[in-house]
Amino acid sequence: MDLLWNAYSNVSDDEEQPKRQRLSFSSSNPPKRHLPSPSPPPLFHQTQSTIPGSYISKRQRALMGPTPAPLPDPVPVPSPFTLPGSISVTDVHHNILSLLKSKAKDHQSQNLISEKLSATLSGHTNAVNAIHWSSTHAHLLASAGMDHTICVWNVWSRNQKKACVLNFHNAAVKDVKWSQQGHFLLSCGYDCTSRLVDVEKGLETQVFREDQIVAVIKFHPDNSNIFLSGGSKGHIKLWDVRTGKVVHNYNRNLGPILDLEFIMNGKQFISSCDVSQSNISENAIIVWDVSREVPLSNQVYAEAYTCPCVRLHPFDSIFVAQSNGNYVAIFTSTPPYRLNKYKRYEGHVISGFPIKCSFSLDGKKLASGSSDGSIFLYDYQLNKYKRYEGHVISGFPIKCSFSLDGKKLASGSSDGSIFLYDYQSSKVVKKIKAHDQACIDVAFHPIIPNVIASCSWDGSILVFE
């Protein structure tokens, strides 16, 4: 104890305690290790060689590894608008341009027959359903195909005749129509839409979507901004192209709409449906009030037949309906919309085909197709008919067309031929072997009367002059 006391008693309590000092280590004793602050990865690949057998971190392996292979380019999505040519009239041949600038009446006296092949238009990969000339830009022809495309052709261009291709539809295109408002095309197809396209700008300006296949479209006779559409579910809609919205809906539990026709200066319209979900004799033909969305009469046609086509007479207050009873029925287009039981056009055969009929421009003649391949031309006043036969239908939706002067009637045929008939004598004036497969549609030019275009089930389009 004494030793311990002596050892700790060397320092007096009165003496000041020495201050603590940090011990300094000699070089033999290493200092305390400090963790380095993290540094960013090197920007460039390290070129120093590594010692064999040493540890290599994942980051170093990534830097030393080969450059990863680039990903393959994605499959290009086809553009909805391609412009292989030009729609400008400046590319048109001078002689054709002079004819287009002249009036149609200057050519109606020319009794010429279309027989010379003027242009071959190839581009569709499937059948062509319809063709239509532009009345405002008469050098352009539009075609609607089963290949989901619409082609616009600059028919007499000195360079590329295919002016542009429209791929806006997602299914087969059933019909195409030029608008009176410039370079606008209205089309409908099996993708449950009607589409309005500005061909000059290559833009789809409006899409009118429905929950049904759109089968029929009709522009208002006095306002091209409004059109009717009817479809497979029996729904009828009135659209405004300026807003892209439905103005009116016309619903009555109908079957598929077959045809639509405006009457009474666009204040009323007629609808024809296939199979009614209630009573076919009550709803086969209905007269509607456009603004009130109500049927004015649903007992217009009391016979048990459907009518695939309705047409308004250009002058008289009557309309006709193509009946599957193998005749064309006549109705008054004013209340009470009576069926003329004492006058009808019969002799042609329907056999369930969607046979169409059409009045001549002067309203004196009524033309109708037939399932036996004939075209019947009836005298509206005398109820007499002439018969145009020679071409063959064979179940194809063959169409026909009158020339501007009304002196010739053209029709396609299932054997690929175009038949030209004389309006007065009903004799075959010319038979043109045009296509390898069925000739579906024919269309006379709106200005040059001796020019006719045709399209075929094989996807080809021909122009004769």
Q: Is residue 222 one of the residues assigned to a domain? A: yes
pLDDT score recorded for residue 304? 74
Q: Is residue 162 one of the residues assigned to a domain? A: yes
* Mean of pLDDT values over 160-177: 90
Q: Which of 208, 224, 251 is the last residue of a domain?
A: 251
Q: Is residue 84 one of the residues assigned to a domain? A: no
Overall domain count for the chain = 2
d(CA 182, CA 198): 9
* Mean of pLDDT values over 65-71: 52
240, 247 in Cβ contact below 8 A? yes
pLDDT surpassing 60 at residue 296:
yes
pLDDT surpassing 90 at residue 245:
yes
Q: Which of 191, 218, 251 is the last residue of a domain?
A: 251
Are 136 and 245 within one domain?
A: yes
Are 356 and 247 within one domain?
A: no
Provide the β-strand partners of residue 176.
187
pLDDT surpassing 70 at residue 46:
no
Q: Which of 45-59, 247-261, 332-346 has the lowest mean pLDDT?
A: 45-59
Strand ranges across the sheet with 461-464: 117-121, 461-464, 452-456, 439-444
For a pLDDT cut of 90, what percent of the chain falls above it?
21
Q: What is the pLDDT of residues 307-330, one digit of tens each?
A: 877 877 877 787 877 777 767 777
* Mean of pLDDT values over 5-19: 46
pLDDT score recorded for residue 340? 79
Q: Is residue 440 one of the residues assigned to a domain? A: yes
Q: Is residue 199 one of the residues assigned to a domain? A: yes
Q: Is residue 390 one of the residues assigned to a domain? A: yes
448, 107 in Cβ contact below 8 A? yes
d(CA 462, CA 155): 10
3-state DSSP assignment of residue 356: coil
Q: Which of 94-98, 283-287, 335-339 has the lowest mean pLDDT?
A: 94-98
pLDDT surpassing 60 at residue 170:
yes
- Residue 200's domain comprises 128-251
Angle at alpha carbon of residue 81, lines to 75 and 85, rounded to 5°? 115
pLDDT score recorded for residue 11? 44
Q: Is residue 261 one of the residues assigned to a domain? A: no
**pLDDT band at residue 65 using 50, 70 and 90 as cut-offs:** low
d(CA 149, CA 129): 11
Q: Which of 122-131, 293-302, 370-379 has the lowest mean pLDDT?
A: 370-379
Across 439-457, b (16+ Cβ under 10 Å) vs e yields bbbbbbbbbbbbbbbbbbb
How many helices (H) does the chain have, and how many strands (E)? 4, 33
Are 246 and 351 within one domain?
A: no
Q: Are strands 339-346 and 357-359 parallel, antiparallel or unpaired?
A: unpaired
* Mean of pLDDT values over 252-261: 86
Are 239 and 351 within one domain?
A: no
Q: Is residue 201 one of the residues assigned to a domain? A: yes
Q: What's the Cα-to-Cα distance from 239 to each of 191, 310, 331, rounded to whole Å?
A: 17, 21, 27
Please list, in sequence order, all residues whose beta carbon lies within 8 angstroms of the beta carbon of residue 168, skipping any fewer than 6 positions away.
Answer: 80, 81, 150, 195, 197, 204, 207
pLDDT score recorded for residue 369? 54
Q: What's the Cα-to-Cα distance from 96 to each of 332, 448, 465, rounded to whole Å?
A: 44, 9, 11
pLDDT score recorded for residue 246? 95
Are 135 and 245 within one domain?
A: yes
Q: Residue 178: which CATH number?
A: 2.130.10.10
Query: Which tokens is 122 given?
Result: 């190839």
* Mean of pLDDT values over 350-375: 56
Are 351 and 457 within one domain?
A: yes
Angle at alpha carbon of residue 133, lines to 128 and 138, rounded to 5°? 145
Average pLDDT of the residues of the chain: 74
- Pick the more confident residue, 445 or 388: 445
Q: What is the pLDDT of residues 411-456, one digit of tens each?
A: 667 778 887 767 556 567 788 888 888 887 778 888 887 888 998 8
**pLDDT band at residue 282 using 50, 70 and 90 as cut-offs:** confident
d(CA 275, CA 259): 13
Q: Which of 251, 276, 294 is the last residue of a domain?
A: 251
